[in-house]
Amino acid sequence: MTYPLLAGIRVIESSAFIAAPLAGLTLAQYGADVIRFDLIGGGIDYNRLPMMPGGRSLYWTSLNKGKRSVAIDIRKPEGRDLLRALVTAPGPEGGILLTNVPTPWLLHKALVGARPDLISCTIEGNADGSTAVDYTVNCATGYPMLTGDGTRAKPVNHALPAWDLACAYQAAFGLTAAILRRRATGEGSEMRLALSDVAFSAMSHLGVLAEAELLAEERRSIGNDIYGAFGRDFATADGERVMIAAVSARQWRALAETCGIAEAIASIEAALGVDYSREADRYEGRDIIASLVKRWVEARSLAEIASEFDAGGVCWGQYRSVRELIADDARVSTASAIFDEIETSGVGRHRAAGATIRLSDMTRGETQPAPLLGAQTDEVLSEVLGLPQTAIGALHDRGVVAGPEADPLFPQRGEVRSFAN
């Protein structure tokens, strides 16, 4: 679904990989007109795995839903001029650039002369401009030594590009805040956001850095246990696996009552002089608690556990594979308010998420698919730059722009000005 919260705002995106495209996707799914500048034939992330057999990337098409694509040959000076013109085109809600490709001729300082109220957000690896990606940032955070049974000799990387996600949503926030400021004062903003700063600032906000600095304690890997409270994974009688969390006192009471261990717990508390209603005591006593919970869980099937846990208000979840998730979980079906069934060119019909925040008083639109490369070249050049059709045709003839590419699923639909030309 989409919501027109940012309707009227025009963002030019020059991006690759995850953080910047996802920031643009976020703006697009809340109604901004996000226009991707694409290289003719696609940029460096256009063919990333996973790929459809017919040759379209599910990675690229998933990250670029609901954007418009303008295909330009920026090796030609005329192509660079066009892209700069798109970024600095007039209109109170234009003049916004989102990028992680700090091309010298597309830097803020190269554009602000043409549009003094320019807003730009540049995502970079490190704040000094050096390269970093999620994986090379993550290894510096200490988390791989804390994940799973990770150790210094055998660290465990996360598979989820968590820092990219956090970076993307912060960039979307920053651009929106800068638009607020521009509306109030007329001033633009030059913003830079480093992936490594995203990671280290989050570690500060979670107290992890202060712990290392002030307590001189090195947090150790605790496997699948939740730090600071009670929670871990358990096997069921029928070979499934569940995660159980008792972070709040309410969750803890629900767990102890549902598993029928409240009396045993009370005896242990009395014997040891602890109080498991306190999170820190639960964390300290996690192995004792787990041994009681384990006995209850391993004697029951998943269905029995689900029924009793849901009735008792226990905070829990089942471990599922991605295929099981999409096959069975209503939260990723079209019964969810955030998932739609969409038709992506070159891909086909599939489920896709839209805006994650739900607004009760605003009409939601449908999630829009990713464009074919250059699908909106002509309409954008006409709408945003006011170029007449003859001028646009001449740009095509000189190879400065292209589009749309042929749809791999329907190559016969290829336009006269396809990429095959």
Q: Which residues are catalytic?
A: 164
Give the separation between CA 100 and CA 103, rounded to whole angstroms.
9
Interacting positions 392-411 with a copy of itself (CB under 8 A): none
Binding of a copy of itself by 334 (CB under 8 A):
no
Dihedral pair phi/psi, residue 392, rounded to 5°? -65, -45
Interacting positions 5-44 with a copy of itself (CB under 8 A): 5-6, 16-18, 22, 25-26, 30, 44
Which of 85, 110, 133, 302 touches a copy of itself (CB under 8 A)?
133
Binding of a copy of itself by 69 (CB under 8 A):
no
Residue number with CB closer to a copy of itself (231 or 374): 231
Give the separation between CA 189 and CA 26, rounded to whole angstroms.
19
Residue number with CB closer to a copy of itself (217 or 263): 217
Q: What is the residue whose two structure tokens read 């460096």?
A: 44
Interacting positions 243-272 with a copy of itself (CB under 8 A): 243-245, 247-249, 251
Listed ranges 69-77, 79-87, 237-245, 383-391: which one lies at the site for a copy of itself (CB under 8 A): 237-245
Give the separation between CA 194 and CA 133, rounded to whole angstroms.
10
The nearest distance, CB 88 to a copy of itself, in angstroms, is 17
Binding of a copy of itself by 61 (CB under 8 A):
yes
Listed ranges 218-226, 289-297, 374-382, 389-397: which one lies at the site for a copy of itself (CB under 8 A): 218-226
- Binding residue count for a copy of itself, defined by CB under 8 A: 162
Listed ranges 200-208, 263-271, 290-298, 379-387: which one lies at the site for a copy of itself (CB under 8 A): 200-208
Listed ranges 82-90, 154-162, 376-384, 402-410: which one lies at the site for a copy of itself (CB under 8 A): 154-162
Which of 85, 107, 127, 274 touches a copy of itself (CB under 8 A)?
127
Q: b/e for 354-380, b at 16 or more Cβ within 10 A? A: bbeeeeeeeebbebbbbbbbbbbbbeb
Interacting positions 297-316 with a copy of itself (CB under 8 A): 313, 315-316
Listed ranges 255-263, 298-306, 336-344, 379-387: which one lies at the site for a copy of itself (CB under 8 A): 336-344
Nearest C-alpha neighbor of 42 from the set 60, 20, 67: 60
Binding of a copy of itself by 75 (CB under 8 A):
no
Interacting positions 364-393 with a copy of itself (CB under 8 A): none
Nearest C-alpha neighbor of 84 from the set 387, 385, 379, 401: 385
The nearest distance, CB 68 to a copy of itself, in angstroms, is 18
Distances (CA, A) of 338 to 7, 25, 94, 223, 365: 19, 14, 28, 33, 10
Which x/- pattern, by CB under 8 A, does the window 342-361 give for a copy of itself? -----xx-xxxxx-xxxxxx
Residue number with CB closer to a copy of itself (367 or 377): 367
The nearest distance, CB 151 to a copy of itself, in angstroms, is 10
Which x/- pattern, by CB under 8 A, does the window 166-185 give for a copy of itself? x--xxxxxx-xxxxxx-xx-
Residue number with CB closer to a copy of itself (105 or 227): 227
- List, in order, residues 6 or more apart from 325 with CB less than 8 Å away: 332
Name the H helices within 142-285.
162-185, 195-205, 208-214, 249-258, 262-272, 279-284
Q: Compute CA 124 distance to the chain's CA centroid, rounded to the nearest angstrom.
A: 16
Give the separation between CA 79 and CA 87, rounded to whole angstroms.
13
Residue number with CB closer to a copy of itself (47 or 382): 47
For residue 380, the surrounding DSSP H or E stretch is helix 377-383
- Pairing type for strands 119-124 and 189-194 reads parallel
- List, in order, residues 6 or more apart from 89 with CB less than 8 Å away: 10, 95, 384, 385
Contact between 138 and 158 (Cβ < 8 Å): yes
